[in-house]
Amino acid sequence: VSTRYYYGEAVANAGDVISLPAEESRHLLKTMRGRTGDRIVVFGAGRQFSAELTGVDGSLAVVTLMDPVPASAPPSVAMAFAIPWIKGGKTEFLIQKLTEIGASEMIIFQARREVARGDDSKLDRLVRVALEACKQCERIDVPTIKLASSLSKAIDASGMILPAQTFLLHERTEVLLGSAYNSLHGRPAKVLFASGPEGGWHPEEVEEVQSRVTLVSLGPRILKAETAPLVAASAMLAFSGDL
Ligand code: SAM
């Protein structure tokens, strides 16, 4: 049962009295039947506090922040992911799992060979999935989620400019992610992984970004679209000493 609630990205300090956002208030007051005087933990903007439910303002829970509560550190290398829309709820699955593993940013793009279509109306739901995963795994830095119309636009949105740190997961390439990572000079601040849809990359899609990425393999087995990013994320934690 969750007793952690997200207050948003506003800067807050011990002693502040704040209202929780509508969805979090509903969860605390209705689902969890919170009562004045209840002790909870709240987090947001990379901080976490013990707090007390001190009132109700309309439908919003009003809480008083008490002591800061230490939280787990993010992975030492920030991991961004460009992942395609995938049918059957698998994009949501990936957002949940990548958030648990520690992704800092996820950019969902429209892949050429994927029939599943996404649009802006789905963004709120994806953000909610990431937030719920943060609450569950006791993470306080909520990952950024963006949408892009293509792989190339997804790389633009990530801000990555170094091809050596921008890994395009490709099952038909020889270079293993491990050796590509080991040939980097020093530990990067951030890497981006781009993974393809169920039907695989369209050759033109890869061609378009060829000069901006390093093609890497995750080994000889063909992984499903919802497996490959998770393997890359886990491997990255291991390479950087976070596992
Ligand atoms: N249809 C493709 C085929 O049969 O060759 C397979 C695509 S795979 C299901 C989906 C995506 O996962 C790929 O586009 C790639 O990004 C990633 N992927 C799967 N296996 C991989 C591997 N062994 N190494 C690197 N990436 C892999």
> What does the pLDDT read at residue 120?
84
> What does the pLDDT read at residue 1?
45
Ligand 1 centroid to Cα of residue 224, in Å, is 6
Instruction: Please state, in angstroms and as integers, the Cα–Cα distance from residue 75 to each residue in 55, 127, 144, 237, following that order.
Output: 36, 20, 15, 7
Q: Are 145 and 191 in contact (CB under 8 A)?
A: no
* pLDDT tens track for 39-86: 999 999 889 999 999 999 999 999 999 999 998 899 999 999 999 999
User: Alpha helix (H) ranges present in the chain?
Assistant: 22-26, 90-101, 123-137, 151-158, 177-182, 203-209, 228-239
Question: Residue 84: which of 112, 121, 119, 110 has the closest Cα?
Answer: 110
Instruction: Please state, in angstroms and as integers, the Cα–Cα distance from residue 17 to each residue in 24, 76, 99, 164, 167, following that order.
Output: 16, 33, 29, 46, 44
Compute the distance between CA of residue 177 and CA of residue 168 in angstroms, rounded to an integer: 10
Residue with tokens 């109700």: 56
From 223, 234, 236, give the residue whose CB has the most ligand 1 atoms within 8 Å, as the site to mutate.
Answer: 223
Ligand 1 centroid to Cα of residue 176, in Å, is 13
> What does the pLDDT read at residue 2?
55
Which residue positions in the chain have pLDDT lower than 70?
1-2
Ligand 1 centroid to Cα of residue 158, in Å, is 21
Residue with tokens 């707090």: 51
Asked whether the whole model's pTM tops 0.85, one would answer yes
| CB neighbour burial string for 185-195, b if at least 16 within 10 angstroms, e if fewer | eeeeebbbbbb
Looking from the CA of residue 168, the nearest atom of ligand 1 is: 16
> What does the pLDDT read at residue 72?
87
Looking from the CA of residue 221, the nearest atom of ligand 1 is: 23
Ligand 1, CB cutoff 6 Å, lining residues: 169-171, 195-196, 198-201, 217-219, 221-225, 228
> What does the pLDDT read at residue 126?
96
From 172, 222, 231, give the residue whose CB has the most ligand 1 atoms within 8 Å, as the site to mutate.
Answer: 222
Residue with tokens 């990555």: 160
Contacting residues for 160 by C-beta, under 8 A, at least 6 apart = 80, 166, 190, 192, 212
